[in-house]
Amino acid sequence: MKTETIAVHAGNHPDEASGAIVQPINLASTFQRSADGSYPKGHKYSRTSNPNRISLEECVYKLEGGAAAAAFSSGSAAAMAIFQSLSSGDHVIVPDDMYHGVATMLRNIFSRWNLEVSFVNMQDFDEVKKSFQSNTKLVLVETPSNPMLKITDIAAIADIAHYHMAICACDNTFATPILQHPFDLGADIIFHATTKYLGGHSDVLGGIVVSKHDDDFFKKIREVQQVGGAVPSPFDCFMTLRGIRTLAIRMKVHSENAMAVARFLSNHPKIEKVYYPGLETHDGHALASKQMSAYGGMISFLYKGDDAATRNVASKVQLFTRATSLGGVESLIEHRASMEGPHTKTPTNLLRLSIGIENIDDLIADLSQALN
């Protein structure tokens, strides 16, 4: 089955009791045992599993072409579960441009667990190869990256990781399974902040880890989910799955609109540089064209001006909303450096846009008036 069809149908189990074509939300925290003590419907207690969570997991692992998935209460909890499935003393290689929250988690929390980490430039294969140690267990790829929209060669990094017997994990939040299939390129683990495009409406927090194989490493992730308990509520799972039903058409419009905005910005005299993988001038354009089917809805750009002048542009928008996060139907603008905190390497004249699915003329008109 094709991705668009999986997005609409996978994981939905119409209600046998009522005939409702959309699966209901089961809020129960616990499930009835039979007289013989067994669990006839397969669920025992809602932290371990519940009907809405397994529906969401089934839909996402099928979308990614994997074997199993574990849903979490946020994208950060999903990333945590991956690192918690490693051991103290292990070493991980991660990108030098990555979601700041995951970088902070590695620096501040996992350093106390003695998990070693190297932040490397994933575009420089020599640097990646040199950063391997005898205890390297996992290499993380984030492509396109946040916020610089760097494109990483998933197949090349997966090959290098496998040569060193390490797992290759991929944060597929920006691309989604509609635009990019990391498992086909060699990744072993995919994770998402479903808060973003999968949920798609800026109204539910969530994360998910998908595994290509139902293997020993995934069993550890499942244990972190079930025993650790950072799980999404049945309502959250329902909301996320509802979002996924329209993911394919949303990604198409996000990508088309972002392409048009990127072209508009790159021709604007007050813009120093535009980072969008769909532009021929972007360093990763050829690679993105190879490993993605479209370029997504995220754009960063440098304004010709200082920190204050750049923030002033953000203060002038009327249709775009000034807010962090991304992937919703509405367009957002963000001064990223002031959001990321003291470790940020993001230029202070950088603004990041999450391009929504509004009419493109309205989006360009708003940016145009804000820039003038």
Ligand X SMILES: *Cc1c(COP(=O)(O)O)cnc(C)c1O
Residues tagged active-site: 47, 99, 171, 196
Q: 16: buried, middle or exposed (CB in 10 Å: 19+, 13-18, 0-12)?
A: exposed
Q: Which stretch binds ligand X (CB under 6 A): 14-22, 159-167, 191-199, 359-367?
A: 191-199
Binding-residue pattern over the window 206 to 245 for ligand X, x denoting contact by CB under 6 A: -x--------------------------------------
Evaluate whether 52 touches 234 at the Cβ level (below 8 Å).
Answer: yes
Closest contact distance (angstroms) between CB of 76 and ligand X is: 3
* Residue from the set 31, 61, 83, 99 that interacts with ligand X by CB under 6 A: 99
What is the number of the residue whose Cβ is closest to ligand X?
A: 75
* Residue from the set 57, 64, 153, 171 that interacts with ligand X by CB under 6 A: 171
Phi then psi for 320, rounded to 5 degrees?
A: -60, 150
* Residue from the set 11, 51, 66, 75 that interacts with ligand X by CB under 6 A: 75
Closest contact distance (angstroms) between CB of 371 and ligand X is: 25
* Nearest in space to 5 (alpha carbons), one of 274, 247, 222, 198: 247
Please say which residue, 99 or 303, places its beta carbon nearer to ligand X: 99
Q: Which stretch binds ligand X (CB under 6 A): 94-102, 227-235, 303-311, 360-368?
A: 94-102
249-268 b/e with 16+ CB inside 10 Å = b? ebbbbbbbbbbbbbebbbeb
d(CA 221, CA 122): 25
Q: Tell whether residue 173 is a contact of ligand X (CB under 6 A).
A: yes
Q: Which stretch binds ligand X (CB under 6 A): 33-41, 42-50, 99-107, 112-120?
A: 99-107
Closest contact distance (angstroms) between CB of 193 and ligand X is: 3
Q: Tell whether residue 101 is a contact of ligand X (CB under 6 A).
A: yes
Three-state SS sequence of 109-139: HHCCCCCEEEEECCCCHHHHHHCCCCCEEEE
d(CA 47, CA 49): 6
d(CA 105, CA 311): 28
* Residue from the set 76, 85, 257, 291 that interacts with ligand X by CB under 6 A: 76
Dihedral sign for Cα atoms in the order 238, 258, 143, 117: negative
Please say which residue, 43 or 327, places its beta carbon nearer to ligand X: 327
Evaluate whether 70 touches 208 at the Cβ level (below 8 Å).
Answer: yes
Closest contact distance (angstroms) between CB of 102 and ligand X is: 6
* Residue from the set 196, 222, 254, 336 that interacts with ligand X by CB under 6 A: 196
For the record, the structure tokens of 270 come out as 């007050």
Please say which residue, 115 or 370, places its beta carbon nearer to ligand X: 115
* Residue from the set 143, 195, 255, 354 that interacts with ligand X by CB under 6 A: 195
How many residues touch ligand X under the rule CB under 6 A: the total is 16
* Nearest in space to 191 (alpha carbons), one of 66, 337, 275, 285: 66
Q: β-pairing, 189-193 with 298-303?
A: unpaired
Q: How far is CA 248 from CA 7, 13, 80, 294, in A?
A: 7, 21, 28, 11
Please say which residue, 52 or 173, places its beta carbon nearer to ligand X: 173
Q: Tell whether residue 336 is a contact of ligand X (CB under 6 A).
A: no
| List of residues contacting ligand X (CB under 6 A) | 74-76, 99, 101-102, 142, 146, 171, 173-174, 193, 195-196, 205, 207
